[in-house]
C-alpha cells in the first residue's frame, strides 16, 4: 500500500520524530510505513490521519494486487 505521509509531513514542516510522538509509535515505525515496508494497523492509520486532520483515504492508497 502506498502512502503520502512523507509528502504531508513535509507540507506541515513535521519531522518523523514529531509524528511518531503524536501517534505513539517509534520513529522507526514511521520510517517503515513511509517506505512501504510496513502497513499500519487500522487504529494507527486513524491516528496518522487525525494528526493531519484528514481522512485515511487521503493518505493511504490501496493498490489491488490481483484477485481475492
| DSSP character at residue 57 | G
pLDDT in tens, the chain (68 residues): 899 999 999 999 999 999 999 999 999 999 999 999 999 999 999 999 999 999 999 999 987 765 54
What the chain holds in terms of domains, given with CATH numbers, is 2-60 (1.10.260.40)
**Which pTM was predicted?**
0.88
Amino acid at each position: 500500500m502506498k502512502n503520502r505521509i512523507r509528502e504531508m509531513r513535509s507540507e506541515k514542516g513535521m519531522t518523523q520524530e514529531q509524528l511518531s510522538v503524536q501517534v505513539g509509535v517509534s520513529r522507526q515505525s514511521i520510517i517503515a510505513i513511509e517506505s512501504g515496508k510496513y502497513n499500519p494497523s487500522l487504529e494507527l492509520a486513524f491516528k496518522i490521519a487525525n494528526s493531519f486532520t484528514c481522512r485515511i483515504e487521503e493518505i493511504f492508497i490501496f493498490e489491488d494486487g490481483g484477485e481475492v
